[in-house]
Amino acid sequence: MSKPDIKIVFCDLDETLVVKNAVPESNKQAIEKLRKETNIKFVIATGRPYSLAEKIIKEIDLYDKENEYCICGSGSVIYENKDKKILYVKQLRRDLFQKLFDLGKKFDVFTFFIGLEYFYLYKPTQTEIEKRNFEKAKYKILDDNFDLEELLNGEDKIMRMVFCKENDFNYLRSVQTEIEKIEEYKDVLDCFISSEQYLEINPKGVNKGVAVKWLCDYLNIKKENAMGIGDSDNDIDMIKNVGFGCAVGGAKENLKKIADYVCEKDYTDGAVKEVIEKFLV
């Protein structure tokens, strides 16, 4: 397979670049080589808020750098890393939050909101709390007495809602199907599953693919000169909106089907390093 002419790489984090919330040394070295030997930009494109991506951005030496970028919130926000400057932001409509929150109570899930800075966890499981502690995430726990309107009016911008069901991908898929059947939501919401346990709910047309296209246009880079690397449902639109899409070895089958290249290695074994060495340096 010949090497594509790539000028920018968009890379997912969880189950793609990082292992146990850290970038493996092999991936770090590959990214460092990419940046030293080429002019190719390396852009994180993640479902995480910036506060939870910041550690990874520092690990790959892109923190607070001019002309370096990051896509967060599965396409909700695009930053220039220098001074964490927001270039693009899209929020879920305020009137939908209460309806979706009430809907979430009917399902066997727990709900959280994602802001620019914080996770807001409504009756989280202990596992989820432990996960956020391990990640050193900024989070606040909400109980039945919390005021949603007050939260939405607060200093932190609340971007989107997520339903979580640990270790039950099929149940989450059934919840997604039920939501997508509701006529009121068909033209205003997009739902997709990430990391097999999160059902992300975004405004219609807000996804990694739209964000990738926006940033490419902003940087005057053609689609055919962009690469994407991912593993899950929330990476599908990203892969569709680049010229060359890569799936890690353990990616979802529906992502593998549309990828131009499926890695021999999974994320735990250095799939990102494999892509960089095979196609970019």
Determine, yes or no, domain membership for 1: no
CB 158 within 8 A of CB 113: yes
- DSSP three-state, residue 39: coil
CA distance 72 to 100: 22
CATH number of the domain to which 161 belongs: 3.30.1240.10
Question: Is this structure's pTM higher than 0.85?
Answer: yes
Tell me what pLDDT residue 117 has: 84
User: How many beta carbons lie within 10 A of that of residue 4, not counting itself?
Assistant: 16
Per-residue pLDDT at 45: 98
Single residue among 187, 203, 219 that ends a domain in this structure: 203
Instruction: Assess if residue 2 is contained within a domain.
Output: no
What's residue 51's pLDDT?
A: 87
Instruction: Decide which of 203, 238, 269 is a domain's last residue.
Output: 203
Is 136 buried (19+), middle (13-18) or exposed (0-12) by CB count in 10 A?
exposed
Buried b / exposed e along 211-249 (16+ C-beta atoms within 10 A) = bbbbbbeeeebeeebbbbbbbbbbbbbbbbbbbbbbbbb
What pLDDT score was predicted for residue 95? Answer: 87
Closest residue by Cα to residue 172 from 242, 109, 260: 109
User: What pLDDT, in 10s, does the model give residues 32-90?
Assistant: 999 999 999 999 999 888 988 999 999 999 999 999 999 999 999 999 999 999 999 99
Q: Is residue 3 part of a domain?
A: no
